[in-house]
Structures are given as C-alpha cells and as structure tokens.
Amino acid sequence: LFQSFAENSQPRKIADQIPMHELLSELGYGLILTQLLAKYKPFLDIAGPAAIDRFLYTGERHKNESFAAFLAAKEVARQDMELHLQERLSEKVAGRVLLRQANLSDFQRELLALKDQSQLLTFDQVAALLRPLDRPELLAQAAGTELGTAGAKHFPVVTDGNPEDEEEDEEQFLQEEEEEESDSLHDDELYFEDREYNEDEALFISAYHSAYADIRKDLKDRKKERGFVRHRASASQGGKGRGKGRRQDRGRSRDRAPPRRSTFNKVDPKLIKGSGTDLQARVRCFNCQELGHYAKVMAVFHQPQPPSMDHLQIFAGIRVSGSQALVDTAAEDAVIGSIAADHLQQELRRWGLRCLPVSQDQPIPCAGIGGSAKVCAILDVPTCVAGILGVVRFSVVEDSASFQTPPLLPISYLEAIHSILDLGKNRLYTPDGHESPMVRLPSGHRAINVLDFDQTPWELPASFRGPSGVDPFALPASSATSSWGGVAAAT
C-alpha cells in the first residue's frame, strides 16, 4: 500500500509520517488507512450527500446530447451514490429518475407508450427503451456521410420540430441568403451620403467599411464550415407567419428572379452605394481645397523641384586626428586612407617611431558596404591602445579629393585584447584592468587614441628584434622622409 502511492503525492506524504518500524509491522496497513481516513474525513463526509444530489437532482439530458452518453453518465452517478451509501437504490426509483431526466419530446413519449404501458419501470428497462431513440439520428448521419444529402433524406430523424415545415424553412433560408447577398457590399463598395467630405471623414468611412467587409466575409465563411447550425426563425420574428395558402405557391417561389440590386440603403435612404473612386470625387483636398483628390496624392503630382547641384551637400566621410582611429566592429581588418596614413606617420615621428612596409606578392582586394577600393600599400604600425602595446597591420587605400578613409580599428584587434565597449561612458575596458577614453564624434562614431605612448612607452621585446637586436620600428637618428607616395624609408 505504501509503495502504491506516487512520489511527492499527498497520500505518500501522510504515510511518511508513520515511523518505519511501525510501518513494517503487521499493523502498518491499518495505520496507513487510519491516517488517510483522518486526513480526508471532511471530504468523505460531504461526498455522500453530493453523490445523492448529483444522481437525483442534476444531470438532465441536454437538447443535443445523445441517449447513450446520457445513460452512461447516469449509470456512473448511480454507482457513485451507492458506493458512498453502501446500499442499493430501488430499481424502480432509479428508473423513474432516469425517465424524468431524459428530457423527452412528445413524439418520443408516444413511441415509448407504444412499447410499454407500465408507468413504473426499472433502471435497466428504461435504459433499454431509451437507447433505440438514437438509432434514427445515427443512421441519418451515416447516410449523410456516405451518400450525401440525397441519401440521407430517406432516413427519418426524430426532431422536436414539425417535419412538414422543413422544405418551407429551406426556401425561407435560401431567400434570406439571396437578400443578404444582394444587400452585401463588395470589396470596393461603400455606403455614404451624397455630399462633400473632408479628408478625415472620408478616411473614417473607408476604415469603417473595411472592417465591416472583413466581418461579413468571416460570417459568410462560417456558414460553410463543418458543424454550422442554422437556427430556425420563429413566426414572431419579422412578422412572417406560415399560412395554409403559402404551400400552394411553393413551386413558383423558386422561379422568382433575384431582387434587383439597389443603389440605396434600406435602413437610411440618404445613403448611396458607390466605390472608393466615387467617394474620392466628393472629398475636398486639405491643401488646395479642390474636389477629387487627397492631400497625399497632391504631393505626388506636385513634387518640388530638386535643388541644383551647386547647393547639394553630401556627407562623404569622417575625419579624425592623426593619432586616433575609429572603433569599427564591422571591419574585419584594419584599413587606413593614404592621407590619414601620412598624418599617422607624422604622429609616429614625434615618438621616434615609424611604420614598416610589407611586400605584396599579389593584389589584395578591398571591399565593404560603401563599395570597393584599391590597396596601394600594407603597413605594420606600432600602437598603444589603453596601455597595451601592439603592432597592427593596416591596408592603405587610395584617397581622392572627394572622399578620405579614416583609420579603422578592426574587430579582430578588439577581440584580441578582449575589449569591453561602454558607449554610455565612452570608455574602452579590458579584463586586465586597462582602460582608455573614447571620443564621440558628431556622427555618433567612437574614436580612440592608438598612439597612447604617454601611458606605456614603446618597447619591442628582444625576441622580435632579430639577430641584430635593433628595433625595426625605432626611427634612426638620421633619416630622410618623402611625402606620401609610398612609405617613409630609413637611410
């Protein structure tokens, strides 16, 4: 019994309160039941009255509920009540309750009266009489599934209504559909008064009819869905009664021509039906106060002339000082323009340093979001960013008079030093405790000093100096430089 309870369930938690040595004794089974009954006694006390009320006073069959489902539910309710009472209910009392809650129609009561004249039947006898009442509906449903409506009409179905009115209801339903179709609006049709409108009123009418068309389309699609029930209209609705003489004209009702579509609304004769173009013809423009168009359409036809090329201003690039570079997380490699490379070399000379050219075995392509460029040289540049010494290889592209490329600090270098960018405080951090301020440009870009040798002086490790032990980036005491057309060369 203890092992049958699921882990972390409430009965298992109650049984865990019993000491293990008592649980394993011969009294353990009884101790568990005693604890459970003491815990659930308030629920057990009310379960009996609730079971009696559930069987005797509730559980009536609904209108569309099958008798098989109703009998199964009442059988379960009876067993539950007898289990709590520990007594067997009288069969005739149970049968009377079952018959009273079956919610039979007059026609179904007549069918039962033809089979048995007894007024007091047992539960099983009433159940045997109710089960066959489902068969006509099941046969009709099966025939409708296999043979369609042509086959289903040969199987009678017990309903609460009058079968003679089915054909008449069908005709009325088809007539209502024709009237509804004639009164419905197409996608491009609107209801509006024959007067002038301002733009706000016209937009409101268009939005209203757009929502109205969506709702009507949804309702029309629902009628085609499976399970749609067409409710029968009563004679009091609309004042349409069913007289005896109407059935004589039934054959001519289907031959009537569909009603002619009217341009006027039945509800309000002042409203006319028209298209969006008809409504636009009555709209007065907000700008020019003329009829026939909207202000936004007027802006298309009356566009201002573009300014002449003499006064055209184009944002062509970003410039920084010679010791700065843009922090560009979208750049894969370091790129610098030829003019910016001249400025960078001038800043390096102040620190006694220089760039080293790298030989090109083959042309190197250079392209990005802004287009492509021609690489004229490759330089190894000594740098100091946030106190971290390093060498960055820049690809030098040719600048023009109209466009200049600033130095771009690539994502590869930022990942190498594990940089952390704080755009709110405009600072660059590293996990090792290095940091450096960034400058926010008017365009929103961030620039950083890449020649911050004030913080850490330049020093190339001996392992990178070669056999001579000379720092190749150090500028010799006597050097001759040429203007940028290449790289500053040591003599």
Residue 198 φ/ψ region, left for φ over 0, alpha for ψ in the -120 to 50 degree band, beta for the rest:
beta
pLDDT in tens, 155-203: 444 444 444 455 555 666 666 665 555 555 565 677 778 888 888 888 8
Task: Please report whether residue 369 resides in a domain.
Answer: yes
Residue 178 φ/ψ region, left for φ over 0, alpha for ψ in the -120 to 50 degree band, beta for the rest:
alpha
Q: How many CB atoms lie within 10 A of CB 438?
A: 20
What's the number of domains the chain is made of? 3
Q: Domain end: 80, 111, 133, which one? A: 133
pLDDT the model gives residue 240: 47
Domain containing residue 458: 324-464
Residue 402, pLDDT above cutoff 50: yes
Find the Cα–Cα–Cα–Cα dihedral 235, 241, 244, 245, rounded to 10°: -150
Residue 254, pLDDT above cutoff 60: no
Task: Please report whether residue 108 resides in a domain.
Answer: yes
Name the range with the highest mean pLDDT among 13-17, 321-325, 423-427. Answer: 423-427
Task: Please report whether residue 312 resides in a domain.
Answer: no
Question: Do you know the residue count of the chain?
Answer: 491
- Residues 338, 264: one domain? no
Assign 266 to helix, strand or coil: coil
- Residues 296, 329: one domain? no
The per-residue DSSP string of 274-323 comes to EEHHHHHTTBBPTTT--BS--HHHHHHHTPPPPPPGGG----------TT
Relative to beta strand 371-385, strand 365-368 is antiparallel
- Residues 347, 432: one domain? yes
Task: Please report whether residue 370 resides in a domain.
Answer: yes
Domain CATH number, residue 385 = 2.40.70.10
More confident residue, 249 or 333: 333
- Residues 341, 297: one domain? no
- Residues 291, 331: one domain? no
- Residues 117, 181: one domain? no
- Residues 330, 294: one domain? no
| Of the candidates 227, 253, 229, 242, the residue with the CA atom closest to the CA atom of residue 174 | 253
- Residues 338, 298: one domain? no
In this prediction, residues 271-281 reach a mean pLDDT of: 80
- Residues 294, 353: one domain? no
- Residues 393, 427: one domain? yes
- Residues 277, 401: one domain? no
| Of the candidates 145, 160, 205, the residue with the CA atom closest to the CA atom of residue 64 | 160
pLDDT in tens, 147-161: 455 554 554 444 444
In this prediction the pTM is: 0.36
- Residues 17, 74: one domain? yes
Backbone angles phi, psi at 248, to 5 degrees: -75, -25
Task: Please report whether residue 399 resides in a domain.
Answer: yes
Q: Indicate the burial class of 340 (C-beta count within 10 angstroms; 0-12, 13-18, 19 or more).
A: buried
Q: Residue 166 and residue 339: Cα distance in Å, rounded?
A: 93
31, 23 contact by CB (below 8 A):
yes
Task: Please report whether residue 88 resides in a domain.
Answer: yes
Q: Domain end: 241, 273, 304, which one? A: 304
* Beta partners for residue 336, in sequence order: 396
Averaged confidence pLDDT in the chain:
75
Q: Residue 398 and residue 374: Cα distance in Å, rounded?
A: 6
| Of the candidates 443, 409, 411, 439, the residue with the CA atom closest to the CA atom of residue 425 | 439
Residue 442, pLDDT above cutoff 50: yes
pLDDT the model gives residue 312: 52
